[in-house]
């Protein structure tokens, strides 16, 4: 009996040892030993078409139409390094002399977005995205990269036009109909925020005609709560059909990120600037050469003026169209070519819209009477170029 027990124990020990060795060296022999667990998962029915149908209340179609026309813009420029303050110290200069050597420049890079406005490679963006840049590169949504050159810019609306130097037809954006946008409409902001890649955010039109923000000379902004962040500048603001309604430009923020108050230049303004730059290389606006001032209630009371409508002529430039026409300091401009002037901003926009070289009728209030004057419109001087 003892012998049988020893034989059995040895046989079991050897079998276990063989099983352990096989499981170590050939584990795949034992994979199907245990039955696989079955998990029941519910899945939505698929679509028979190649492209899935958009979900209800989705703006996927609008994004798909407009995203290929929104590009990333990379810029580079040389900037002077700041001069060390010790070089301006009188004691240092007394012992070591006046060292006026030019500080070495350093290379700075920038990032923004743009919108392809025509299939032949015209790109709209913000002036502040490319200002001072001596090297511009554009990256398309499909990954292709092309050099670009500056065609023209308009600092007073913060718009610039680039030409992409590439071959073939490019995906161009479709402009929305003028004045079709309303407060409450859904809009999508497309750009490259913080350089993370093309991003689409959604919001509504919060307000139209925003001005007096101190951003640019001519302001007529679309306000939206769609998230706009650094890197979105120059990108597209599109409607629910994917049509361009604005060029993203600025945000109101205390932290540098989006707080739900973003501003875009209307597509109608961008189109007008684009057409003028392509036709003449610059944007032409009317000018008469006056300094204007808002009529406050206190100012109206001191001048004995009824109401605050109009623009007070605070000064007239010498040898300007206004001086030649007889406009005087102290006059109150109340009409331009039959259109009423409500405030200085309105007066500036009315005059800018006049064609240089043509005459226009200006109505001014002088003392207790109203006087009509013919003014030959001049060309508004271009702002100085910063480098």
| Cβ contacts of 379 within 8 Å, gap of 6 or more | 284, 285, 286, 287, 356
Q: Which residues pair with 167 in a beta bridge?
A: none
Q: Catalytic residue, from 72, 128, 225, 258: name it.
A: 128
Query: Any known ligand binding at 232?
Result: yes
Give CA separation, 27 vs 14, 31, 142, 193, in Å: 19, 7, 46, 51
206 is catalytic: no
359 has binding-site annotation: no
Find the radius of gyration of the CA atoms of the chain.
Answer: 34
Catalytic choice (66, 154, 158, 268): 158
For residues 358 and 353, give the distance between their C-alpha atoms in angstroms, rounded to a whole number.
Answer: 12
161-198 residues labelled b (16+ CB within 10 A) or e (exposed): bbbbeeeeebbbbebbeeeebeeeebbbbbbbbeeeeb
Query: Has 84 been annotated as catalytic?
Result: no
Q: Quote the strand ranges of the chain, DSSP E.
A: 70-80, 105-116, 122-125, 135-139, 145-154, 159-164, 186-191, 199-210, 221-224, 236-238, 244-251, 262-266, 286-287, 290-293, 311-316, 332-336, 339-340, 359-366, 369-376, 378-379
231 known ligand binder: yes
CA separation for the pair 277, 157 (Å, rounded): 13
CA distance linking residue 131 with residue 110, whole number of Å: 10
Burial of 311 by CB count in 10 Å (0-12 exposed, 13-18 middle, 19+ buried)? Answer: buried
- 158 in active site: yes
Instruction: Please tell me which residue in 66, 113, 206, 233 is annotated as part of the active site.
Output: 233
Instruction: Say how far apart CA 335 and CA 315 lie, in whole Å.
Output: 18
- Binding-site residues: 128, 158, 231-233
- Binding-site residues for substrate: 128, 158, 231-233
**Which residues are marked as active site?**
128, 158, 233
């Amino acid at each position: 009996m003892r012998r049988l027990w020893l034989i059995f124990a040895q046989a079991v020990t050897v079998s276990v040892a063989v099983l352990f060795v096989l499981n170590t060296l050939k584990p795949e022999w034992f994979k199907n030993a245990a039955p696989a667990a079955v998990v029941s998962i519910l899945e939505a029915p698929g679509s028979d078409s190649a492209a899935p149908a958009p979900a209800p209340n989705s703006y996927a179609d609008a994004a798909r139409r407009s995203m290929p026309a929104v590009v990333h813009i990379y810029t580079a420029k040389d900037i002077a390094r700041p001069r060390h303050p010790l070089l301006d110290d009188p004691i240092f200069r007394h012992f070591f002399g006046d060292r006026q050597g030019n500080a070495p420049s350093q290379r700075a890079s920038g990032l923004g977005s743009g919108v392809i406005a025509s299939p032949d490679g015209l790109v709209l963006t913000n002036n502040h995205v490319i200002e001072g840049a001596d090297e511009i590169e554009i990256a398309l949504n499909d990954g292709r990269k092309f050099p670009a050159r500056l065609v023209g810019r308009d600092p007073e609306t913060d718009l610039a036009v680039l030409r992409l130097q590439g071959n073939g037809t490019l995906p161009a954006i479709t402009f929305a109909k003028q004045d079709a946008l309303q407060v409450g409409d859904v809009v999508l902001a497309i750009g490259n925020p913080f350089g993370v890649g093309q991003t689409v955010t959604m919001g509504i039109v919060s307000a139209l005609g925003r001005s007096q923000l101190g951003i640019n000379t001519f302001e007529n902004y679309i306000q939206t709560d769609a998230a706009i962040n650094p890197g979105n500048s120059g990108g597209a603001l599109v409607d629910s059909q994917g049509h361009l309604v604005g060029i993203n430009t600025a945000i109101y923020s205390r932290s540098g990120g989006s707080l739900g108050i973003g501003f875009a230049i209307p597509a109608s303004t961008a189109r007008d600037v684009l057409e003028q730059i392509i036709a003449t290389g610059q944007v032409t606006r009317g000018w008469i050469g006056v300094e204007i001032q808002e009529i406050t209630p206190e100012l109206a009371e001191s001048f004995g003026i009824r109401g605050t409508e109009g623009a007070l002529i605070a000064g007239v430039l010498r040898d300007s169209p206004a001086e030649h026409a007889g406009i005087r300091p102290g006059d109150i401009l109340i009409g331009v070519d039959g259109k009423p002037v409500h405030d200085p901003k309105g007066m500036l926009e009315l005059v800018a819209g006049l064609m240089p070289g043509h005459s226009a009728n200006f109505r001014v209030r002088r003392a207790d009477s109203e006087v009509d004057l013919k003014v030959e419109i001049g060309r508004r001087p271009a702002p100085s170029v910063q480098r």
